Structure 1
């Protein structure tokens, strides 16, 4: 029961990130884009650190062989999912990839549901691993939710409707978390296999979506700042790993 409470708390925290759209309404677009680039960089580092420093070592310990093959399958699976759904995270308010608001909501709902499953699996394996995974997901969700909110506005949604729609879709994290917890206690050996799935997803999102955004920056000072935030994300995950071992 304690694990379920942790899962509910973590998934509700992640879902509340959708309300960050309220903050973006009061910010100028130019200033918002500067902040978003730094958030994207921090997110990329946190996802990479979470995958290589936490999820993969735990998966190897739980499953032994075959982990890296499963990570590769998960990586390819996320690529296929993105192609099928035309799903791509946008980190700027006006992004041509997100031409259709409802399609974006559908893709985001699936993504959030998978996040919920992953969070549940991590908490069932170990509370500390669950907290680390929550941190990595949360750092990624902030720039994503800001981008998705902008996408809905661009697609023609009214501000209030866009905010409510984004929050409703974000609650799929909670649905995934509860279902993941239920499955973990009814399907033997189910949970450990979520770890390489999460690692593959984290690596894919960071490498194919976030890091290309960082690479587009031409200004030398901004590039250095972005790289610094990227490294900070990795360092945070490293520090969490060291602390959790004490």
Structure 2
């Protein structure tokens, strides 16, 4: 339990750490933004396909994997229907208006399955999977925190407040990490479904959100290289620590 709480806290608060550069910056180029998004996509793709799914397959069968992934995709689809995607570069007003709050809520909701993946991974208990997934989520949370913080600063939100809000969008992951961990340790046979569910949710985010966003401004080649770099980084981490 202690290691799960520590791992989920570190991965969650990586969002706030990633937002710290907004103390000095008010803008970032399209290319840099796309590289960050694609790097994040590569990390999440590798974590899902080379870590979460294989570990789930060791403990169950293809039917459990299919059900878990499908449930993860369905949940993210429903979240997308209720709280639609917004462009983080949009300009609204000089205060924290309703639409800005809605964007923050959407980002927070999309972070919930990531916390779940951390909690379920720690509940697996048979390997270093929990720490590895927590580290992977932390790696992808940092650039997300930077982009959220930058967006808020561009809405003329005070820099420290922007960092605090960005940190809060990631901190909710600790709640779902705890829920995922407790459910997986109490309900027998739930771990492979939980791992597959987390993989499905992450893969949905990669293909539905991150890859299209990183290819929307004419920097497809740079984004592709960043995606592959993120993929390789995570593969190396899985090889060394998995």
Q: Fold-level match, TM-score > 0.5?
A: yes
Alignment gaps of 5+ in structure 2: none
- The TM-score with structure 2 as length reference comes to 0.83
* Aligned counterparts, 1:95-114, within 5 A: 100-114=99-113
1:175 aligns to what SS in structure 2? Answer: helix
Tell me, in whole angstroms, the C-alpha distance in 1 between the residues paired with 2:108 and 2:90: 20
8 Å CA contact retained: 1:109, 1:170: yes
1:243 corresponds in structure 2 to 240
Note the aligned Cα RMSD (angstroms): 2.6
RCO greater where, 1 or 2, for CA within 8 Å and sep 6 or more?
2
Q: Number of aligned residue pairs: give it.
A: 235
Displacement of 1:233 in angstroms is 1.4
Displacement of 1:116 in angstroms is 2.0
Residues 184, 162 of structure 1: alpha-carbon distance in 2 compared, 3 angstrom cutoff: same
Tell me, in whole angstroms, the C-alpha distance in 1 between the residues paired with 2:208 and 2:184: 30
- The TM-score with structure 1 as length reference comes to 0.82
Tell me, in whole angstroms, the C-alpha distance in 1 between the residues paired with 2:241 and 2:160: 41
Displacement of 1:200 in angstroms is 0.7
Displacement of 1:154 in angstroms is 5.1
122-131 or 149-158, which deviates more = 149-158
Tell me, in whole angstroms, the C-alpha distance in 2 between the residues paired with 1:27 and 1:51: 32
1:94 corresponds in structure 2 to 90
1:18 corresponds in structure 2 to 15
Tell me, in whole angstroms, the C-alpha distance in 2 between the residues paired with 1:85 and 1:12: 25
Tell me, in whole angstroms, the C-alpha distance in 2 between the residues paired with 1:43 and 1:238: 13
1:232 aligns to what SS in structure 2? Answer: helix
